[in-house]
Structure 1
Amino acid sequence: MLDFLTQKVHDENRQGEAYAPFAVDENQYKKHFYIESYGCQMNFADSEIVASILQEQGFGATRNLEQADLIFINTCSIREKAEQTVRKRLTDFKKAKKSNPGLLIGVLGCMAERLKAKFLEEEKLVDIVVGPDAYRSLPALIEEAETGQKAVNVLLSREETYADIAPVRLDSNGVSAFVSIMRGCNNMCSFCVVPFTRGRERSRDAASIVAECETLYREGYKEVTLLGQNVDSYHYFDESIGEAVTFAHLLEKVAMIAPDLRVRFSTSHPKDITEEVLQTMARYENICKYIHLPVQSGSSRVLQLMNRTYTREWYMAKVDRIREVLPDCGISSDIIAGFCTETDEDHQDTLSIMEYSKYDMSYMFFYSERPGTLAARRYTDDVPLETKKQRLSEIVALQGRLSRESNEKDLGKTFKVLVEGPSKKNPDEWMGRNSQNKVIVFPKPTGLKKGDYLEVTVTDCTQATLIGNVKREK
């Protein structure tokens, strides 16, 4: 992990692995909390909800571990490596108790329910365990833990969306913000633990989502990312108008807040992204032309075992339709190597669907069996680890070539870029992203600031990044 004050970034993007928050004025609070987040963007958004709840209780965020009265780690159970990282960090935090006996350590999020007994009893690493639907109970749990008792609430909810809680933007660049629109998942993909750790799917009311986005815009933010495990299945019945709000309707409502407020979203399930969504994206310039469309495998047989509910051919047809409606749309994916019973032929199907889809970028992993999932109960994890690693290396290599080819096609093109801040590699350069979610770095022109839009012409590229210059008016 990088230094705990920073986000680990993917090619200068905002997809993070961990961050710690900070307060505008740490001295205004007598008590302080420190939080690290791992995994998906939903976890980062949840940490901002937790920060709001703690702030209401008089706790200020701090980047200084020695100043913290509370340490929380927001966890991810998607892969075994994430769990190993969390356990290591908890061991590090436990050492801090030697110099600060009153320090409380807590685990939030997806690992909370599954590993609560180990963390609390066997390894004695934590004082508080809180599941993703129980953050409102944090004040009572903290009070209980302060008496020396172990405090736990991992109950899942069919209603909780935290719609009325205004998140505290942690480690924000002041330009882009996450907005949670729904929680949980109903898809039951056999490899995935999310339905068991985050519960059933429920959508947040549309009015509160739009209001949060309007507030962000008034505060100077220029981009919002609408978050959900499966945003395309968003569905909320608005009793005030007597109509159901679909994801396409919600996208339009947010896009209409202001033409210079960019709208992104993640993640889409291939079976649920609709023609209406594509047409809405095409109508509004400020809805970014980028779709994260996880394929997981290119083999119809493996997809059936994964319970993905689509075939190879169906997915390819969906990619075709996206290209027809949105010719300049960026597409990225998630890919799993070595799922149960995967053969060499299945692996070749994955490589070929990558070639067909021409992903701009992918998140790639080898299969890691998660206890409690359908796959763990039904199938044998029978692909040898070395085979998984070899197949993953081939997937990574192919994606590297596809990413470079995609970037090379942009040479000479001019894109509208939203400036997010200084380049992490060179403080004399700015970085931003185009509508297709590609990172572009360019020399700092005078008079430019974060949150500005400008035209940048691509002059060079790497596998991960576009390099350009600000377009000069003739």
Structure 2
Amino acid sequence: MNHFYIETYGCRMNICDSEVIVAILSKAGMKYVNSMSDADVIILNSCSVREDGHNKIYERLTEIRKNANLASKVIVVTGCFASLLTDKLFKQYDFVNIVVNPNCYRQLPDLLQQIRVGKDHLLKSLMDSDEMYGDILPQRVIEDRTTAAINVMKGCNQCCSYCIEPVTRGHEHCRDVESVLKECDDIVSLGYREITLVGHIIDKYHSIDSKSGKNIDFAELLKIVAERCPEQRIKFLSSHPLFFDERIAQIILSHPNIMRVVHLPVQSGANKVLRRMDRGYTKEQFVELIGRLRRVIPDLTIITDVMVGFCGESHEEFEETVDLVKSLQFDDINVFCFSMRSRTKAFKLYADDVDEEEKIKRAQTVKDLRDSIKYQKNKRFLGQRIGVIVESKDNLGRYYGRDLFHHSVYFTSDIPLAINDKVIALVKEVSCQGLIGNVYSI
């Protein structure tokens, strides 16, 4: 039982967690493999943010049950969803051996040893721990070769009415600056071109420098990381409109290696919906924030999230969201249909009363508007030369990369390129998906 495989679902934070699991099990003498068939242990690292995250795990477990060879292996469920599970899962899927939530990954080697000696159906879950795994260097076998992510904080104290994150991840806990910088140095040594700092509301990061005793907020951390790693692009996610400090924008502006992109989820353009969501700001306050950011960095890429079909969302309230999108002209939008989560305030107080077909229709309306805006914005790059880092190559020989503003660029080259090469691409076509061209110079 020495070979293990991990399948990761959900957000970037879960990818970071999977890399931590790889490091823990590798230190215990196990070996990571990249296919289920080669593994003795199969780990499903789950997500709980939306219902489809739960469904994907159940669907995967059902697929495994139908395959006698896979079902005979040691099956482990980890991740946020594991925080919500009880031993009832073992009755429904009796071939699952272990369930472990994100605070207990250090115990995985011991739990697997218990399986080796005949124990079964082990559930290990610890809620609201300050465990950040800051002393563990991820092995980076799952992430791509260009971007490496660092979890700098976890949990959330905001308790938006629809969100299960405070239950599954607990209250906010932050890593110390020293452990973050140690991981940055490791990422640089491995040749990555980009570092992504990750936190649920990363603007609320805070720590105390052990040497100086100085309070470190996120703006200061961003500055420290950018100056520590001057040859790497630095990105961060996600922010919250209530806590995004304009100092962060100033730090972005004053450091050429920090990507000109922020992720600021608005969720809705209707104040009544925002109140039911417990977001803590109004549409007008959000519009004012975007205006201030664009005055500091006029060409800043702004990505947002829109949730359609939240409890009680009327047609008029949805149209307010559409009007907001038209007004603010976001550079990209992640669009989600509301999914009711048990153990949230919304579950206790509201009804999931927007028809599913209507949710899908509203989501498509926002997606169509998003794509139209992106296409019109991308046309301004026609004929321009864009600095790009090569991230991948498809089967047709077309390369893909992103620029400093997080624009996707697809391009060809007469000269073979390597992953992480820096090139200048000449933009000849555009679509809502990105910029299209060929290499102008290397």
Q: TM-score, normalised by structure 2?
A: 0.96
Distance 2:191 2:237 in 1: 22
1:3 corresponds in structure 2 to none
Match of 1:24 in 2: none
After the TM superposition, which parts of structure 1 deviate over 6 Å for at least 4 consecutive aligned residues?
Answer: none
Counterpart contact for 1:419–1:432, Cα < 8 Å:
yes
Question: Within 1, Cα distance between the matches of 2:88 and 2:305?
Answer: 30
Letter in 2 for 1:238: D
Match of 2:175 among 177, 183, 204: 204
1-side partners of 2:142 and 2:153: how far apart?
23
Distance 2:251 2:200 in 1: 20
What is the alpha-carbon distance in structure 2 between the residues aligned to residue 51 and residue 356 of structure 1?
A: 45
Is 1:182 the counterpart of 2:153? The answer is: yes
The equivalent of 1:452 in structure 2 is 421
Q: Residue 433 of structure 1 corresponds to which residue in structure 2?
A: 402
Q: 1:349, CA displacement in angstroms?
A: 0.9
Aligned equivalents of 2:387, 2:365: Cα separation in 1: 34
Partner of 1:346: 317
Give the structure 2 partner of residue 123 of structure 1: 93
Check conservation: 2:71, 2:95, Cα contact below 8 A: no
Deviation at 1:257, TM superposition (A): 2.1
Aligned pair in 2 of structure 1 residues 408, 320: CA closer, same or farther (>3 Å)? same
Structure 2 residue runs of 5 or longer lacking an equivalent are: none
Residue 411 (structure 1) shift: 1.8
Preserved contact between residue 378 and residue 431 of structure 2 (Cα < 8 Å): yes
Paired residue type of 1:431: Y
The corresponding residue for 2:391 is 420
CA RMSD, Structure 1 to Structure 2 (Å): 1.7
Residues 399-414 of structure 1 mapped to structure 2, 5 A cutoff: 399-414=370-385
Question: Which one-letter code corresponds to 2:225 in the other structure?
Answer: V
Partner of 2:15: 44
Residue 39 of structure 1: CA displacement?
Answer: 0.8
TM superposition shift of 1:449: 2.2
Partner of 1:15: none
Count of residue correspondences: 441
Give the match's secondary structure for 1:471.
Answer: strand
Shift of 1:150: 1.2
SS of equivalent residue, structure 1 residue 99: helix
**Distance between the aligned counterparts of 2:262 and 2:238, measured in 1?**
8
Alpha-carbon separation, structure 2, partners of 1:256 and 1:440:
27
The AA in structure 1 aligned to 2:289 is: K
Following superposition, the deviation at residue 445 of structure 1 comes to 4.2
The sequence identity of aligned pairs, in percent, is 35
Aligned with residue 201 of structure 2, among 225, 230, 235 = 230
Q: Which residue of structure 2 lines up, in the alignment, with residue 54 of structure 1? A: 25
Question: Hey, what's the Cα distance between the residues in 2 that align with 1:164 and 1:458?
Answer: 44
Partner of 2:114: 144
Structure 1 residue corresponding to 2:431, chosen from 462, 469, 474: 462
Is the CA contact 2:390–2:418 (under 8 Å) kept in the aligned structure 1? Answer: yes
Q: Which residue of 2 aligns with 1:14?
A: none
Are 1:386 and 2:329 counterparts?
no
What's the counterpart of residue 336 of structure 1?
307
- Aligned to 1:319, the other structure's residue is in SS state helix
Instruction: Tell me which amino acid in the other structure corresponds to 2:56.
Output: T
SS in 2 for 1:133: helix
**Take 1:425 and 1:355, find their aligned partners in 2: how far apart are those partners?**
37
Q: SS where residue 446 of structure 1 aligns?
A: coil
Rounded to whole Å, the distance in 1 between the matches of 2:381 and 2:349 is: 45
Q: Is the 8 A contact 2:378 2:434 kept in 1?
A: yes
Q: TM-score, normalised by structure 1?
A: 0.90
1:132 aligns with 2:99: no
Question: What is the correspondence of 1:2-41 to structure 2 with a 5 Å cutoff?
Answer: 31-41=2-12
* TM-aligned CA deviation for residue 60 of structure 1: 1.0
Distance 1:38 1:397, change over 3 A: same
Alpha carbons 1:80, 1:368 under 8 Å: kept: yes
Indicate yes or no: 2:411 matched with 1:442: yes
Alignment of 1:113 with 2:83, yes or no, is yes
Distance in 2, Cα, partners of 1:339 & 1:311: 16
The secondary structure found in structure 2 opposite 1:327 is coil
Report the Cα distance in structure 1 between the residues aligned to 2:70 and 2:342, rounded to whole angstroms. Answer: 35
Cα distance, 1:173 vs. partner?
3.0
Sort the Cα spacing of 1:179 and 1:445 in 2 relative to 1 into closer, same or farther, 3 A: farther
Name 2:440's counterpart in structure 1: 471
CA distance in 2, matches of 1:397, 1:461: 16
| SS of aligned partner of 2:86 | helix
Question: What stretches of structure 1 of length at least 5 have no aligned partner?
Answer: 1-29
